[in-house]
Amino acid sequence: MSTTATGTAIEPVRELGSPRQEAWRRFRRDRVAVVFLWVFAAFFAVAVVAQLLEFAQGSPFLYELTLKEQGYPVEEAARPPSLVTWQSWLGTTSAGKSVLLRVFHGTKVAFVVGTCGAALSVLIGMTLGLVAGFVGGWVDEVVVYVYSTIASIPYLLLMLALAFIVRQGPIAETYRGLFFSEYVSLGLFNIVVVIGLTSWVTLCRLVRAEVKKVKELDYVHAARALGYSRTRIMFVHILPNVFHLVIINFSLTFVTAIKSEVILTFLGVGVDREPSWGQMIAGAKS
């Protein structure tokens, strides 16, 4: 700290770093954000453990992760939590399967649904909103008509209808020819597709409105004057300036996707071949 001729103390000027460094510095000062980052990391670690357990057991759907191989008596199925083995800490199901391992695997399913479903939703909403806002005209009118129609249908009913259609339609046939069909159940694939097709409306509205504002700024007019193509202007000059909406919407859709999977699986049209939180809640009724 230096002083002036009058003796007044002057605080030293902190040198600014790059935008990423400044963003990380602000993030570290936000205690709530840091806490939730650790919570997210904990759930992610649980999902990774579930995947490692699958590889160790050689079963992609955890069919073999029972306590019978651990010397746990078969007659002890559907028992309360105990300390016989670490797998029995949360008790067992009526089939003698570890509830703890099913929770682990349910966490992995939740992460897959949340990440893939939100990514598909964001991709659709971002692309349609970007094109509609920039091009305008009849393209904008068609996009507005489509998302207004979807928004007018009750969300749960729309998901249920699409879940039945996807499960038995051409999308199911396409799934059977994909390379990951041996590791991802049809129910999980359907949930991701349904969430992606029903959760993009909000982001599309926001991106469309923001693009309409941004495309009138001086730097966009300068890009047009330089002869840049529409595609370059949209994805190089406009998209980075509206991408903050995409990041925020992805985090919100991630949570919504997990809740939607639980609801649809509980109703019998969701994940079917592997343990999930929705299956565990539905199984608690019996």
Lowest mean pLDDT among 199-203, 260-264, 282-286: 282-286
d(CA 131, CA 38): 37
Q: What's the pLDDT score for residue 120?
A: 92
Pairing label, strands 9-10, 2-3: antiparallel
Q: Which of these, 279, 128, 131, 256, lies nearest to 194 by C-alpha position?
A: 256
pTM: 0.77
Say if CB 57 and CB 98 are below 8 A apart.
no
Q: What's the pLDDT score for residue 65?
A: 45
d(CA 115, CA 96): 31
Q: In this model, does residue 18 exceed pLDDT 70?
A: no
pLDDT in tens, 130-183: 999 988 889 989 999 999 998 888 888 888 888 887 777 677 677 666 666 666
Coil, strand or helix: which one is 2? strand
Mean pLDDT of the 270-284 span = 75
d(CA 222, CA 136): 19
Say if CB 135 and CB 216 are below 8 A apart.
no
Mean pLDDT of the 267-274 span = 76
pLDDT in tens, 21-74: 777 777 778 787 788 788 878 888 877 777 776 655 554 444 444 545 555 555
**Where do the domains of the chain lie, and which CATH numbers do they carry?**
107-286 (1.10.3720.10)
pLDDT in tens, 83-136: 666 666 666 666 667 777 777 788 888 888 888 899 999 999 999 999 999 888
Q: Encoding tokens for residue 158? A: 């729309």
Q: What's the pLDDT score for residue 203?
A: 92
CA torsion, ordered 41, 44, 50, 55, to nearest 10 deg:
-110
